Amino acid sequence: MKKLLILLIIIFCVLFMFSVNQIFAQYAYFGVKGGVNISHFRGDDADPEIFWGTGSEQNPRIGFVGGVYSTIILTKIIAIQPELLFSMMGTKYNWEDAGEYDYLVMKLNYIQLPVLLKVYIPLEGNTKPNFFIGGYISYNVSAKYSNEWHLPSFGFGSGNIEEDIDGNLTWNGSPVETSKFDYGISFGLGSDFIVKGYQLTVDARYSLGFAKLFQPQTGSEPDIKNGVFSIMVGFGF
């Protein structure tokens, strides 16, 4: 049922973008875009010393981001840009010492719907630099972790596993469930290039998540939230 609901939401959003493009045909572009996410966990409890132990560090997870978008031109300097994206987020925690190691990769994947307000810097010609800010809501479609270790002096030997986060990872001894929804703000810089009626768009943004990501069965929610830097390229018509 949940998968059907997600599919219906996706279809609705895509049809909405197509409809907007038709209504405002000479003032809108519809296109596809894709790029790379550089994501990490933020918040007090995301500190590697707390999350993964003394001597560990946090490194970003590199993942794909991409989907469809529509740029709706309202004035010469203002546009609204809804997007529908698949976004790979998460982080990596590493512990290493004297040839021994313990690596944890958190893999959170989302269907994300940002709506951005774009402000163009007025310039002559077909190059349209801009800055933008907006909100987003995301639905978690996959939450897994992988753990690789080599800890002979601790009596654990070597191993590598990948499992669902829900019910398998714990916080203060309590199994956690991954929050289904995330929300936050995105802001950044970009530029649109108009060539023979087509749009090439490039942007770099940072998305600041506000929702706490994990819900233990007992105890308070840890202060762990998403943060992701994204670079994307798109083509619109």
The 10s digit of each residue's pLDDT in 159-176 is 999 999 999 999 999 999
Please compute the mean of the pLDDT values over residues 32-48 and round it to a whole number. 97
Q: For 11-25, how does the pLDDT look when each residue is reduced to its tens digit (9 = 90+)? A: 556 555 555 555 544
**pLDDT at residue 47, rounded to an integer:** 96
Give the separation between CA 209 and CA 230, rounded to whole angstroms: 13
Q: For 104-113, how does the pLDDT look when each residue is reduced to its tens digit (9 = 90+)? A: 999 999 999 9
125: left (phi over 0), alpha (psi -120 to 50) or beta: left
For the chain, which residues make up each domain, given as ranges?
Answer: 53-83+92-192+207-225
Q: How far is CA 213 from CA 2, 143, 209, in A?
A: 19, 10, 9
Question: Which sign does the torsion angle of CA 1, 110, 66, 104 carry?
Answer: negative
The mean predicted confidence, pLDDT, of the chain is 90
